[in-house]
Amino acid sequence: MVGYLTLILCCQLFGEVIVGALGLPVPGPVLGMALLFIFLLVRGHVPEALGSTADGLLRNMSLLFVPAGTGVIMHLTLLSEALVPLSLAVAISTSAAIIVTALMMRFLSKAAADE
């Protein structure tokens, strides 16, 4: 379990380093997740211990949002000044995500039915 937790954290670290070195407009953890995904594609399967380690992290995910929630409360006046643009951004991005998900489901359902 410790080895796979180290793997997850190293992927995040490599993502942060790459983003910092190249100045990419992508968060480091997202790039790290992509690196882990590529590693798993090359490997061909998810090891059982990695799955259980990831499940343990997911079960405690709410603890990881405490710092973000604290930051929101600390900057509430700043957020209230930008309420309209933030609300529009959330509404548009949520709608786009729902539309893309629906289109992908339609496409994948047709592809599965054709097989």
Predicted structure pTM score:
0.56
Question: In whole angstroms, what is the distance from residue 32 CA to residue 38 CA?
Answer: 10
pLDDT tens figures, 44-99: 888 888 888 888 888 888 887 777 778 888 888 888 899 999 999 999 999 999 99
* Contact present, 11 and 57 (Cβ < 8 Å): no
Banded pLDDT at 22 (limits 50, 70, 90): very high
Q: Which of 36, 35, 49 is nearest to 3 (CA)?
A: 49
Q: Which of 10, 45, 43 is nearest to 29 (CA)?
A: 10
Question: In whole angstroms, what is the distance from residue 35 CA to residue 24 CA?
Answer: 15
For residue 50, how many other CB atoms are within 10 A of its CB? 20
